[in-house]
Chain A
Amino acid sequence: MNGCMKRTFVAGSAAVLLALSASSAFAQASAGEEGTFFIKGGTIVNPGGQRLANTNILIRNNRIVDIGPSVVAGEAKVIDATGKFVYPGMIDANTGLGLAEIGSVQTMSLRSELGDFNPHIRALVGINVESELLGVTRMSGVTSVVTSPAGGAISGQAAMINTAGWNWEDLSVMKDAGMVMTLPGSGGRGGRGGGGGGRGRGGATANPNLAADFQRFMEESKAYDDARTAGATKLDLIYEAMRPLFHREIPAIINANGEQDIRAAIAFGEKWNLRVVVQGGADSWKVRQLLADKKVPVILSSIEAAPGDSVPYDEIYAQPGLLYDAGVKFAFSTGQGSNSRHVAFHAALAEAYGLKAEGALKALTIWPAEIFGADKDIGTVEKGKLANLFITTGDPLDLRTQVSYVFIKGRDMPFDDRQTRLYLKYKGRPVTIKP
C-alpha cells in the first residue's frame, strides 16, 4: 500500500493520488512503517566510489542485516529498486531542526539559552518530533541531522538525530554529538549565511569580560574534571557537562569563520587537549593545509550565501573543492531547518565549482558521521548499520532526480510531510479554468 502510493506519487497521477490521500496510508505515523524489507536490484552508491549494481538489501530490526546480489527476500516486504539507486541517507551537520519551527515566532524558535556558559543544556531534549520541518527534510533523503543549540559562549550540547522517530529518544543517534562554543573575540566574518550558530541573543555575548570569564570557566572546569578523575564525588552539573570534552569523548564544535578565528580555535583545542571541529569555516581554504595536518574537520556554513565584495565571486562555491584536494575532512550544513533538504544542492554547487563527485558524497554522508563519531551507525549503506537510506532515480545532487523511497532506522517513510499533504489536496481540486 505504502509503496504503491509512492510509485504513483513519483509518476504524478493526480487521480490515484487523490484516492490515496484519503486512504489508510496517511494514517501511518510519521515515524514510518516498521518491518522487514527487501530492497531488490538497486545500484548501491556508497561514498568512496564503490558502486554495487543489481544488489539486494535486507533490512530487519532497524538495521541492514545483509547486502549482496544473492541475498534473498524471505518473508520480507519487497521494494523493487531495479534501475534505481540506493544512497546512504544524507546528513546536515548543523541545523536547528526540532528546536525551531517558524523563525519569526519567538515561542516557536527556541534554540538558545540565557547566559554565556551553558555546557549543561542539551539540544536533544527540546526536539519536537512532529516538527513539520522534519517531515519535509526527510522526504528529500536527509535522514540525519545535527541539531545544535546557539547563542552564548558555550551554547550547549548538539545532538545527532534521525529525521523521523516516535520521540526524541527514538530519534537520537548521538545524544551528545559535541559541545557548541564560540571563542571570545571571534566573529570577524560572522553574519554569513545561516550557518554560523553563535547568533543567539545578540551574537556570541554582550559580556565585556567574556575573555577572562571564559578562561576562568575553562580552568574551573578542568580543575573539576581533575578532581573527579582523582575520586571526588561531589557533583556540579555544569562542570560535569564539560568532562567529556576533556576526555575527548565529544568534540568542541567551535564557531569560527575568519582565518584568525580558525587558527585560534585550533590553538584552543591544543591548549586544552580537546577534539576540535571548526563550524562555519568561511575562510578555511586559507588554512587548509594546517587543518589537514592537524586533522581538524570543518562543518561548512551554508553554501547558499553571498560573498563579500572583495573576494572572488566563486569563493563560497569553490572552497569545498580546495579543502578536498588538501585533504581536509568537512561536512555541509544549512545551519537552519526549513531547507535542510538543500544540503544536497549545496554539494551540487560545490561539485560544479571543483569538488570531486566522490568528495561531495562523502561530505554529505560518511564524513559528518565520522566527525561526530556516528559512523558505526550511519554514513554508508553497510551491513550492521542503521538502515538510513534512500532510493532515487539518479544522482541526488541532480535536480532532475526523483526520490522514490526513504528508510530511516529501517522504517519505510511515507510521503506524508506537510508539503506533500497540501500538494495532494490541492492537486485534487477540480480544474474549473481552461488553461
Chain B
Amino acid sequence: MRIHTAAKSAGAVLLAMAIAGTGSLQAQDLAIRNATILTITRGDIQNGTILVQKGKITAVGANVTIPAGVKTIDGTGKFVMPGVIDAHSHAALENGINEGSESVTPEVQVQLRNDDPVIYRALAGGVTAALLLHGSANSIGGQARVIKMRWGMPADSMYFKGAYRIVKFALGENVTQASGTLPADQKRFPESRMGVEFVYRYWFQKAKEYDQEWIDYRAAVKTNPNVIMPRRDLRLEALCDMLHGDLKIHTHSYRADEILMLIRVADENGFKINTFQHVLEGYKVANEIAAHGAMASTFADMWAYKVEAYDASSYNMALMSERGIVVSVNSDSDERIRRLYQEAGVGVRYGNMPVNEALKMVTLNPAKQLGVDKMVGSLEPGKDGDIAVFSAHPFSPDAMVEYTIIDGKVYFDRFQAQTLRKVAGDSKGTGPGGAR
C-alpha cells in the first residue's frame, strides 16, 4: 500500500456528462411497459408492465397502471428478465485473488475494486449481482464478497446486504499443484487428492477443539471472573463459523471422486457444502450432491483444458437439474460475464432443458446460492428492482442487453452508451476505417 503518484495511462475519454452510475444510491421509480416479461417464478407475461417504486418491484402483470410521473421505458418487442447473477467471478478484485501461501486461510477476505471496468462491461451483459470469490490455490481459501453492480458507487455501497457470508474451498489439480514449480524440498502439502482430504479432516478437528475451548471459557467465566479469555484465532473462528453454518462453503471441484470425498468429510464433521463450484463431473454424483442438500454452479461447457476437465460436459447442467439440484451457470471470467445469458442457453441446446429452467441458472438459482433469493432472482412484487431488458429473447441470436437496472436505477443504457457504431459511423461514413 504505497503512496501513488504516477498517473495511470487512462486510455479513455472522460465524458463531460455525468454517467448513470455516478451519484446517489437512492432507490428510484421506474416502469417498463408493453414488454414480454420473463418472471421466472410466475410464467411469461406478454405485453406486460413491470413497475418499480423506491427500488422495489411493486407490480408485474398485463394490467398495471403506471402512476403519473414515473420514468417509463417502452418495452415493445423487448424481453424483460431479472438481472443476471454471476455465482462465480474474480472480476473487480484487487491486492490478490489467492492467498495461496498456506493451505488453509479462511480468515482472509477478498477486496473489491469498485472501479474495475469489468463491472461496467458486465452490466452491459445484464449482470446486476455477482459473487466475487477467492481463488482456488488452497484447500480452504478466503472469504468472498457478494456485490450488486452499482457502478460508480463507493466499494462498501456495492456490497449486497443480506447475502450469505461465503468462503471458498478448492479441490483437485489447483491445490495439489500450487507448489508444483518449487523444488521438491520446498513443496507445500498436499500434493494429492488424498492429502487434500486430510487437510479438511485435520483442520475441522482443530476447529472443534477451538470451539470447545470457548464453550468452556464462557461457562467458567460465569463463576470465576479471573479466567483468562482465550486467544482469538481468526482462522479457527472462520472454521467454527462453517461448522455452525454461518459461513457458507462454496467449493471449487471438478472430479466426481473429490466431490464425493468432500461430501463425506462434511457429513462426518457436521458441516454442509452450500454450493459445489465448477462441479464438472457433478452429473456423475448428482444423487449424492442432492442428498447432501448442496447446490451446484457450473460452466456451460468449458472442458478439456486440463485432465480433470476431460469429462466435463455441457449436459451437466441438465443432468444435475433433473435430479433436483439447484444449478447455476457462472462465468469465472471477465469475458463470459458479459454474456452469461448465452451460457445459460447452452443448457437448452445440450440436454434440452426447459427454457425457464435454463433462465433460472443465471437468475433465481444463483440467487439461492448467494442467499439473496428473497430479494432478487425473479420478477415479483416485493423483490428488488434488478432487471435486464433485452432486445429479443435472451436465447435468440438477436438478443442484446439494452438496459440494466438495479434498485430501479438504470446503470446501463445501450442508447446512451458509446458503441462501436457510434465511433465508427456507418459504412459509408467518415468515421475511422470507413475511408482508406
Q: Please indicate whether A and B come from the same complex rather than being unrelated chains.
A: yes
- The one of A133, A306, A347, A426 in contact with B121, judged by C-beta atoms closer than 8 angstroms, is A306
- Contact (Cβ within 8 A) A338 B304: yes
- Contact (Cβ within 8 A) B302 A339: yes
Binds B, one of A55-63, A100-108, A199-207, A376-384: A100-108
- Contact (Cβ within 8 A) A402 B352: yes
Chain B: minimal CB distance from A205 (Å) = 25
* The 10 residue pairs across chains A and B that have the minimum distance between CB atoms: A435-B324, A399-B345, A310-B11, A397-B397, A348-B397, A325-B427, A104-B306, A318-B420, A399-B395, A423-B315
Central interface residue in A308, A342, A345, by most chain B CB within 10 Å: A345
Query: What is the size, in residues, of chain A's interface with B at 8 Å between Cβ atoms?
Result: 70
- Contact (Cβ within 8 A) B427 A360: no
Q: Is B67 an interface residue (CB 8 A)?
A: no
Q: Is B305 an interface residue (CB 8 A)?
A: yes
Per-residue CB contact flags for chain A residues 156-189 toward chain B (1 = under 8 Å, else 0) read 0000000000000000000000000000000000
Per-residue CB contact flags for chain A residues 398-435 toward chain B (1 = under 8 Å, else 0) read 11111000000000000000111011001101011111
- Contact (Cβ within 8 A) B301 A352: no
Residues of A in contact with B (beta carbons under 8 Å apart) = 10, 12, 101-105, 132-133, 136, 140, 285-290, 293, 304-315, 318-319, 321-322, 325-326, 337-339, 342, 345, 347-349, 351-354, 357, 360, 395, 397-402, 418-420, 422-423, 426-427, 429, 431-435
Per-residue CB contact flags for chain B residues 296-310 toward chain A (1 = under 8 Å, else 0) read 000001111111011
Q: Which residues of B contact A319 (CB under 8 A)?
A: 420
Known A10-B352, A102-B307; contact A290-B419, beta-carbon cutoff 8 A: no
- The one of A290, A304, A433 in contact with B291, judged by C-beta atoms closer than 8 angstroms, is A433
Known A314-B419, A400-B395, A429-B287; contact A289-B435, beta-carbon cutoff 8 A: yes
Q: Which residue of B lies closest to A304 (CB)?
A: B335
- Contact (Cβ within 8 A) B349 A422: no
Known A351-B397, A399-B346, A400-B345; contact A288-B339, beta-carbon cutoff 8 A: no
- The one of B304, B309, B418 in contact with A133, judged by C-beta atoms closer than 8 angstroms, is B304
Q: Which residues of A contact B421 (CB under 8 A)?
A: 318, 321-322, 354
A105 to B306, CA, bound (A): 7
Q: Which residue of B lies closest to A100 (CB)?
A: B304
Known A423-B319, A426-B286; contact A352-B398, beta-carbon cutoff 8 A: yes
Central interface residue in B315, B345, B424, by most chain A CB within 10 Å: B424
Q: Which residues of A contact B350 (CB under 8 A)?
A: 419
Chain B: minimal CB distance from A110 (Å) = 15
A430 to B427, CA, bound (A): 58
Q: Which residues of B contact A102 (CB under 8 A)?
A: 304-307, 309-310
Q: Which residue of B lies closest to A347 (CB)?
A: B397
- Contact (Cβ within 8 A) A12 B352: yes
Known A309-B11, A422-B311; contact A286-B432, beta-carbon cutoff 8 A: yes
- Contact (Cβ within 8 A) A399 B432: no
- Contact (Cβ within 8 A) B391 A352: yes
Q: Which residue of B lies closest to A139 (CB)?
A: B350
Known A322-B420, A422-B313, A432-B287; contact A306-B324, beta-carbon cutoff 8 A: no
Q: Which residue of B lies closest to A319 (CB)?
A: B420
- The one of A353, A398, A432 in contact with B396, judged by C-beta atoms closer than 8 angstroms, is A398
Q: Which residue of A lies closest to B314 (CB)?
A: A419
A288 to B312, CA, bound (A): 39
Contacts A310-B10, A312-B417 supplied; 19 other A-B pairs, CB < 8 Å = A102-B306, A102-B310, A105-B306, A285-B424, A314-B419, A319-B420, A326-B433, A326-B434, A349-B342, A399-B395, A399-B396, A400-B348, A419-B350, A426-B283, A426-B284, A429-B286, A431-B323, A433-B323, A434-B324
- Contact (Cβ within 8 A) B399 A352: yes
A434 to B291, CA, bound (A): 8
A255 to B47, CA, bound (A): 48
Known A322-B420, A352-B398; contact A433-B287, beta-carbon cutoff 8 A: yes
Chain B binding surface SS class: loop
- Contact (Cβ within 8 A) A351 B398: yes
Known A310-B12, A433-B323; contact A103-B305, beta-carbon cutoff 8 A: yes
- Contact (Cβ within 8 A) A427 B319: yes
Per-residue CB contact flags for chain B residues 373-401 toward chain A (1 = under 8 Å, else 0) read 00000000000000000011001111110
- Contact (Cβ within 8 A) B304 A307: no
- Contact (Cβ within 8 A) A337 B304: yes
Chain A: minimal CB distance from B176 (Å) = 13
- Contact (Cβ within 8 A) A104 B307: yes
- Contact (Cβ within 8 A) A101 B304: yes
Q: Which residue of A lies closest to B347 (CB)?
A: A399
- Contact (Cβ within 8 A) A422 B307: no
- Contact (Cβ within 8 A) A400 B427: no
- Contact (Cβ within 8 A) B335 A306: yes
Q: Is B355 an interface residue (CB 8 A)?
A: yes
Q: Which residues of A contact B392 (CB under 8 A)?
A: 352
Q: Which residues of A contact B324 (CB under 8 A)?
A: 433-435
A308 to B397, CA, bound (A): 24
- Contact (Cβ within 8 A) A318 B419: yes
Q: Which of B402-428 contact A (CB under 8 A)?
A: 417-424, 426-427
Q: Which residues of A contact B334 (CB under 8 A)?
A: 306
Q: Which residues of A contact B314 (CB under 8 A)?
A: 419
Q: Which residues of B contact A349 (CB under 8 A)?
A: 339, 342
A290 to B120, CA, bound (A): 33
Q: Which residues of A contact B231 (CB under 8 A)?
A: none
- The one of B287, B305, B349, B418 in contact with A104, judged by C-beta atoms closer than 8 angstroms, is B305
A395 to B349, CA, bound (A): 12
Known A285-B424, A288-B434, A348-B342; contact A307-B306, beta-carbon cutoff 8 A: no
- Contact (Cβ within 8 A) B426 A325: yes
Q: Which residues of B contact A357 (CB under 8 A)?
A: 397
- Contact (Cβ within 8 A) B395 A322: no
- Contact (Cβ within 8 A) B342 A345: yes
Q: Which residues of A contact B391 (CB under 8 A)?
A: 352
A161 to B338, CA, bound (A): 32
A402 to B435, CA, bound (A): 42
Q: Which residues of A contact B335 (CB under 8 A)?
A: 304-306
